[in-house]
Amino acid sequence: MENVLVVGAGMAGLQTVVQLREQGYTGRLTLLGAEPHAPYDRPPLSKDVLVGKTDDTAFEADFAAMDVQTIFGRTATGLRLNKGTEGNGEGGEVDTDAGPVPFDRLVIATGSRVVNLPGADEVPGVHTLRTIDDARALRAALVPGAHVVVVGAGWIGAEVASSAAALGCRVTVVEALHAPLAGAFPDEIGARFVPWYAEAGVELLLDARVDRLEPGAVHLTDGRRLPADAIVVGIGVRPETGWLADSGVDLDPRGCVVVDDHLHTSAPGVYAVGDCTVFDSARYAARLHVEHWDNALQAPRTVAANLLGGDAAYDPVPYFWSDQFGRMVQYVGHHPVGEDLVIRGPGEDGKWTAGWFRGDALVALLTVARPRDLAQGRKLVTTGAPVDRAKFADIDVQLKDAGR
């Protein structure tokens, strides 16, 4: 009986085994995860877990009922394809820290690992946030009156700062670039996030680079020393794919697993889903790397269908959200450099929307506390229907009425 092995027990890995069973796969199915925990939801870690609303974000998954063998707490260390697999998908073994696990076909879903500052692992009181254990450890440090220094004003940094401020901590955010989220959005957008920090009582230091960390302090390159009861590093993630070195699975320069539009890798019988992948998109005529929850939820439907003999292409409209300082921020689409930016609003309530245009097509949308704009604009982004820019910019015109 054929054995499918899924390596990675996050959202993408869990959904892959769920979809395989729901779509009719009856063979052996194994889910391998590096953490000792059963699969859990990561977005609430920086929000509900940090502020104490919950201590457990585990998904409801009955592995016994699905007849899925689970192997948790074992880290993949290598991949060996059987000799003679060229073109016939005869499988191989995944090496782990507790011995090899065989497979006939493989799905890689190992996600990402956090990037830390050099030497930070050796400094007491430095935190990163990727796992439930990370969140619990950080929550214990977020006591009222504590001075928390967050390095990085990206999505995670902003969410951690927001939660820490809500708990009564004194918070300083250090950002090397000149605006929050400067790597993701143009200056005109990043500047709109800056006032949120001050409103929440958070000190935001822009164009500020870390020189070194020491117990209880962050030293900046300009000579400033920031005392800190807790230090949180939120400077990004990298694909967790080091175990695939010399395996025959192609990786891009960043370390992402290269898959085609069917989520198949360069190796026979080996597929990949989620944060660790870069995939071909006909919709955007580009190779996309999407590190968000919705991608981990949607891609497994396609990979399961193709494992079962289908010919499904994966070409989504990317979507993600973030809760920052009491505001829901949502984004849908993909905006390459050079698209025209049009701001919608803000209205009297201070809420606003931004859209990126290519000609009269709306290719991406960012909304701040405007769920109706997101719902209506998402349809416009997905369909590519022509949009009147003047109507789009008018906050009093519903986006469903902004078409040409």
Q: Where are the domains of the chain?
A: 3-113+237-307, 116-233, 326-401
Predicted local distance difference test score (pLDDT) of residue 86:
46
Using alpha carbons only, how large is the chain's radius of gyration in Å?
22
Please give the structure tokens belonging to residue 110.
């190992």
What mean pLDDT do residues 223-241 have? 97
pLDDT single digits (tens) 211-228: 999 999 999 999 999 999
What mean pLDDT do residues 297-316 have? 96
Predicted local distance difference test score (pLDDT) of residue 66:
98
pLDDT at 267 over 70: yes
CA 116 to centroid of chain Cα atoms: 16
pLDDT at 347 over 90: no
CA 392 to centroid of chain Cα atoms: 29
What mean pLDDT do residues 47-70 have? 96
Percent pLDDT > 70 in the chain is 98
User: Do 3-113+237-307 and 326-401 come out as alike in CATH topology?
Assistant: no
Predicted local distance difference test score (pLDDT) of residue 85:
43
Q: Are strands 3-7 and 28-33 parallel, antiparallel or unpaired?
A: parallel
Predicted local distance difference test score (pLDDT) of residue 289:
93
Predicted local distance difference test score (pLDDT) of residue 1:
59
Q: Quick one: 116-233 is in which CATH superfamily?
A: FAD/NAD(P)-binding domain (3.50.50.60)
pLDDT single digits (tens) 165-213: 999 999 999 999 999 999 889 989 999 999 999 999 999 999 999 999 9
pTM of the shown model: 0.94
Predicted local distance difference test score (pLDDT) of residue 350:
80
Is domain 326-401 given the CATH code 3.30.390.30 in the classification? yes
pLDDT category of residue 56 using cuts at 50, 70 and 90: very high
Predicted local distance difference test score (pLDDT) of residue 124:
95
pLDDT single digits (tens) 357-391: 999 999 999 999 999 999 999 999 999 999 999 99
pLDDT single digits (tens) 21-32: 999 999 999 999
Is domain 3-113+237-307 given the CATH code 3.40.50.300 in the classification? no
Residue 378: Cβ within 10 Å count: 19
pLDDT single digits (tens) 59-95: 999 999 999 999 999 999 999 998 764 445 579 999 9
Cα gap 343→281, rounded to integer Å? 27
Lowest mean pLDDT among 54-63, 111-120, 338-347: 338-347
